[in-house]
């Protein structure tokens, strides 16, 4: 019923997924990857006998461009786009979103994120906390789960005895071929307290399956889901602890320290050299420090 489509984010296979969900009454897509990867997404859909015009509903966990950049392209093919109300204005007018992503990603922006199309107002359905929808003939529920981003939602899909949680970035990034969870804390809305509370809500839901946009299906049994969520909580705690101290010091000192620290932890979790270069790099550390400064330092 659920097929991960690798969108080839950053030119890396295994970096980000969209999820094609076939229901009794149609096709649903959870996430869509960046606009720059739209052709890869379409090829992936076609490989599973699905055309972009077959997607009736696109469910977004949040509007960061690696999850939602292609939303305007899918809306142009007729998809309804479901997003938290806090994210809606930035899909309708993506100018601010583009500017903030350019600040975070610098020169890499054009290569990796591509040309966004605005999503028309009438194509957007607001997904408030607890919202229940039927899409593809399946029952879905939105959980507002701030922490990584203020407008983040987890999508719960209940099907027969299964309870699938589409986590977006809430349980971090699972580096392929390893057990390492990296925790992305980008500006401007990283909030560790809210993040912990949001993970607690997912625990309470008792999912049977956990789907990570960056990682795919990481658990297929409630016992494994619990174990994964505990590890994600622990990684969030240790990442936050280091960041809280690091933001008080100069970049020249903390960027190399943070990179060495992340790489040591990743190596302990079995990350190989290639994946280390692809996933745990200086840009990742700088992004996390940027989010932590907004969260922990007083602003003038």
In angstroms, give the least distance from the CB of 253 to Zn ion: 27
| Residue nearer to Zn ion on the CB measure, 52 or 279 | 279
| Residue nearer to Zn ion on the CB measure, 3 or 100 | 100
Using rule CB under 5 A, residue 169 touches Zn ion: yes
| Residue nearer to Zn ion on the CB measure, 6 or 169 | 169
In angstroms, give the least distance from the CB of 26 to Zn ion: 27
Q: Decide if 153 contacts 168 (C-beta within 8 A).
A: yes
Comparing every residue's Cβ against Zn ion, the nearest one is 64
Q: Which stretch binds Zn ion (CB under 5 A): 56-64, 105-113, 200-208, 292-300?
A: 56-64
Q: Which of 27, 64, 231, 275 binds Zn ion (CB under 5 A)?
A: 64
Q: Which stretch binds Zn ion (CB under 5 A): 57-65, 201-209, 214-222, 283-291?
A: 57-65
For the segment 14-43, give every residue that binds Zn ion (CB under 5 A). Answer: none
Retrieve residue 264's tokens: 């040591």
Helix axis angle for 222-246 and 282-296, nearest 10°, is 80
Residue 251 and residue 289: Cα distance in Å, rounded? 9
Q: Decide if 36 contacts 69 (C-beta within 8 A).
A: yes
In angstroms, give the least distance from the CB of 62 to Zn ion: 6
Compute how many residues bind Zn ion; rule: CB under 5 A.
2
In angstroms, give the least distance from the CB of 113 to Zn ion: 13
In angstroms, give the least distance from the CB of 169 to Zn ion: 4
Q: Decide if 281 contacts 175 (C-beta within 8 A).
A: no
| Residue nearer to Zn ion on the CB measure, 138 or 165 | 165
| Residue nearer to Zn ion on the CB measure, 169 or 262 | 169
Residues that bind Zn ion (CB under 5 A): 64, 169
């Amino acid at each position: 019923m659920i097929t991960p489509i690798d969108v080839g984010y950053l030119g890396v296979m295994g970096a980000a997924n969209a999820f094609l969900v076939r229901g009794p009454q149609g096709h649903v897509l959870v996430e869509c990857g960046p606009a720059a990867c739209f052709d890869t997404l379409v090829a992936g859909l076609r490989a599973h006998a699905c055309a972009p015009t077959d997607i009736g509903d696109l469910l977004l966990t949040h509007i960061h461009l690696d999850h939602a950049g292609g939303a305007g392209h899918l809306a142009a093919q007729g998809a309804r786009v479901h997003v938290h109300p806090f994210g809606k204005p930035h899909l309708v007018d993506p100018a601010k979103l583009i500017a903030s992503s350019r600040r975070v990603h610098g020169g890499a922006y054009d290569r990796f994120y591509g040309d966004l199309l605005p999503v028309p107002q009438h194509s957007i359905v607001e997904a408030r906390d607890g919202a229940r929808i039927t899409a593809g003939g399946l029952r879905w529920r939105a959980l507002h789960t701030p922490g990584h981003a203020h407008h983040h939602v987890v999508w719960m899909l209940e099907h027969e005895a299964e309870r699938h949680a589409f986590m977006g970035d809430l349980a971090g990034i699972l580096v392929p071929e390893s057990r390492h969870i990296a925790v992305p804390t980008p500006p401007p809305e990283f909030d560790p307290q809210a993040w912990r509370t949001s993970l607690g809500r997912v625990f309470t839901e008792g999912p049977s399956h956990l789907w990570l946009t960056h990682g795919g299906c990481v658990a297929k049994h409630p016992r494994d889901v619990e174990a994964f969520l505990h590890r994600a909580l622990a990684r969030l705690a240790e990442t936050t602890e280091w960041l809280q101290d690091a933001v008080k010091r100069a970049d020249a000192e903390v960027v190399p320290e943070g990179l060495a620290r992340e790489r040591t932890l990743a190596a302990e979790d079995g990350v190989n050299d290639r994946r280390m270069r692809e996933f745990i790099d200086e840009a990742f550390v700088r992004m996390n420090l940027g989010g932590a400064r907004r969260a922990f330092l007083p602003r003038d």
